Amino acid sequence: MAQDEKEIATREKKLKEIIKLGVNPYPSKIERKTSVFEARKLKPKDTALVGKIVSIRSHGKSTFMDIEDESGMIQIYLKFDNLGEQKYNFLKLLDVGDYLQVKGLIFKTKSGEITLEVKSYELACKTLLPVPDKWFGLKDVELRYRKRFLDLIINDEVKQNLELRSKIIAELRAFMNKEGFIEIETPILQPIPGGAAAKPFITHYNILKQDMYLRIAPELYLKRLIVGGFEKVYEIGRNFRNEGLSHMHNPEFTMMEFYWAYKNYLDLMKFTEVLIETTVMQVKKTLKIRYQGNEINLAPPYPRITFDALIEKDCGINIYQYPNFKDLREQVLKKKIDLNFKEIKVWAKLVDELYKKVSRPKIIQPIFIVDHPLALIPLAKAKEDEPQKVQSFQLVLAGGIELVKAYTELNDPLEQERRLREQAKMRKAGYDESEMMDENFIESLKYGLPPTAGWGLGIERLVMLLTDQYSIKEVIPFPTLKNK
């Protein structure tokens, strides 16, 4: 029998003995007066702790254990004279990993170690599986993600990353609330998905006998709220996009989006600088961070470059000189830029791939990329002096992390309807990430969307940046994996 199997069999045998003794191995109520962290600060005092057994060291009629909770670890001292024969012998039925409630006196040993001398104890939870020896130092990252509960037990860094994620979200929410925004939740299950260039997940609602979609963005519903009279709204929530897995992409992810009446994209660039500076200082206490070997300075202001100027700088192509797909494709081939033309059928997709494959990876320090081609963002308002461009920006940094995307919202219902019909043509031509027609949204615009700017931030990407993680899976508690 393998070592792990012997250990499991031994634990199961101990469980049966515990039950036979009339002890409930899984009590529903347990007393806990303080955390381990708080207990370590106490002067000699009686208290009650609950924690997981990390180690056991028996010496005849005295036993030392280390127990830990979320706040830290402490040594406990159990001796025969305090517990009596029955309770002391019961210790033989305990294993590393079991949860124990202990009551006793906090004191310092002669060596200066803070210890709890146990006067009484109760079993809080009996564990049946030991942490496998092979798990320590495990390099199989997929197995770590698949068994995240073990990963959290062993790897403190994973737990710290998730704690920082929670703190970042809390700071963002506090900032938005302080700025007078109202948080409102919008539907995740939608009849028509919209608000981003992405493939949706499709499901079926049996009662209505119709297909539904998991949202790709909350944008169109948040803008409906502005139509309804709200002026500053935001949402932090999950989005779902049926796209490939990569170190930057998980099909289920968290976004923060807000919409602000009577503002434009230039206003939001200034707002973004303040938001990023404030949030990062709150959680990191510095604006200079390390990410994948690069020092990145998040102190504003951030420089700006137009989308077409960036492409021309990196590719040597002025995209607006070649306004149709065939001519631009010829220029790309002349420049010997390696793109997968099996998946590129329209001009908008081609310029987007030029940016993603050539320009984006070169960006290290934060920069605003502004004024995207109209065909890339059909929900944004065109520039009045350059109608082939829209009033938009992306905040990009750290080797191509697209952290923020924002634009002045298109509020002309007839122009919006025309653009969505153009998007439908692009979908037929093979660009399946194009927007779908949403008649209800168009109707809402006809009731009047005041001048408005909208903004979105990828929560996971901000967490990746501030925890120096290359893979998005490291900052998602339970990332999406293929079934085995």
- Does residue 53 register a pLDDT over 50? yes
Q: Which value, in Å, is the radius of gyration of the alpha carbons in the chain?
A: 29
Task: Give the residue-averaged pLDDT of 44-48.
Answer: 86
- Map residue 359 onto helix, strand or coil: helix
Alpha-carbon gap, residue 3 to 251, rounded angstroms: 39
pLDDT at 343: 84
- Of 290, 216, 288, residue with least CA distance to 257: 216
Alpha-carbon gap, residue 184 to 224, rounded angstroms: 12
- Does residue 342 register a pLDDT over 60? yes
In terms of Cβ atoms closer than 10 Å to its own Cβ (0-12, 13-18, 19+), residue 68 is middle
What type of residue sits at position 297?
N
Please give the angle made by the CA atoms of 415, 421 and 425, to the nearest 5 degrees.
140
pLDDT at 430: 74
pLDDT-derived band of residue 434, with 50, 70 and 90 as boundaries?
confident
Give bridge partners of residue 295 from the DSSP assignment.
290
Task: Give the residue-averaged pLDDT of 178-188.
Answer: 98
pLDDT at 136: 60
Would you state the structure tokens that stand for residue 78, as one six-digit string? 């159990």
The pLDDT tens digits of the residues spanning 262-288 come to 999 999 999 999 999 999 999 999 999
pLDDT at 431: 72
Task: Give the residue-averaged pLDDT of 12-31.
Answer: 96
pLDDT at 119: 97
High-pLDDT (> 70) share of the chain, %: 98
- Does residue 409 register a pLDDT over 90? yes
Task: Give the residue-averaged pLDDT of 360-388.
Answer: 96
The pLDDT tens digits of the residues spanning 222-232 come to 999 999 999 99
Structural domains of the chain sorted by starting position, each given as residue range(s) with its CATH number in brackets:
3-130 (2.40.50.140), 153-303+365-475 (3.30.930.10)
- Average pLDDT for the chain: 94
What type of residue sits at position 128?
L
pLDDT-derived band of residue 1, with 50, 70 and 90 as boundaries?
very low
Task: Give the residue-averaged pLDDT of 149-158.
Answer: 89
Task: Give the residue-averaged pLDDT of 154-178.
Answer: 96
Phi-psi region of 432 (alpha: psi -120 to 50; beta: other; left: phi over 0): alpha
pLDDT at 403: 98
Packed helices 307-315 and 347-354: angle between N→C axes, nearest 10 degrees:
70
Identify which has the larger pLDDT, 118 or 343.
Answer: 118
Rounded to two decimals, the pTM is 0.90
Burial readout 173-208 (b: 16 or more C-beta within 10 A, e: otherwise): eeebeeeebeeeebeeebeebbbbbbbbbeeeeeee
DSSP letters for 155-195: -HHHHHHHHHHHHHHHHHHHHHHHTT-EE----SEESS--S
pLDDT-derived band of residue 432, with 50, 70 and 90 as boundaries?
confident
pLDDT-derived band of residue 345, with 50, 70 and 90 as boundaries?
confident
The pLDDT tens digits of the residues spanning 280-338 come to 999 999 999 999 999 999 999 999 999 999 999 999 999 999 999 999 999 999 999 99
Give bridge partners of residue 407 from the DSSP assignment.
392, 454
Query: Could you give phi then psi for residue 72, rounded to 5 degrees?
Result: 160, -170
pLDDT-derived band of residue 440, with 50, 70 and 90 as boundaries?
very high
- Does residue 255 register a pLDDT over 70? yes
Secondary structure (H, E, C), 385-426: CCCCEECEEEEEECCCEEEEEEEEECCCHHHHHHHHHHHHHH
In terms of Cβ atoms closer than 10 Å to its own Cβ (0-12, 13-18, 19+), residue 401 is buried
